[in-house]
Amino acid sequence: MSKWQCVVCGLIYDEAQGWPEDGIAAGTKWQDVPEDWVCPDCGVGKADFEMIEIA
């Protein structure tokens, strides 16, 4: 499981948690998140997320 961070606003998508509010189940890999999913904090798309190291 990896974490991805929005380079625009810093929001973190954690694959282990998914994003249940948008119907993305816990454990959903980043590659399987729908292409049109947008950052809930700042509204940018998947292309503006980058992988970050897990602490």
**Min separation Cβ 13 and another protein, Å:** 15
13 is in an annotated binding site: no
38 DSSP 8-state letter:
B
Residue 35, token pair as written in the block: 């292409």
**Min separation Cβ 40 and another protein, Å:** 6
Write out the E strands in the chain: 3-6, 12-14, 49-52
Question: What are the residues binding another protein (CB under 8 A)?
Answer: 7-10, 21-23, 34, 36-38, 40-44, 48
Residue with Cβ nearer another protein (27 or 40): 40
Residue 33, token pair as written in the block: 């998140």
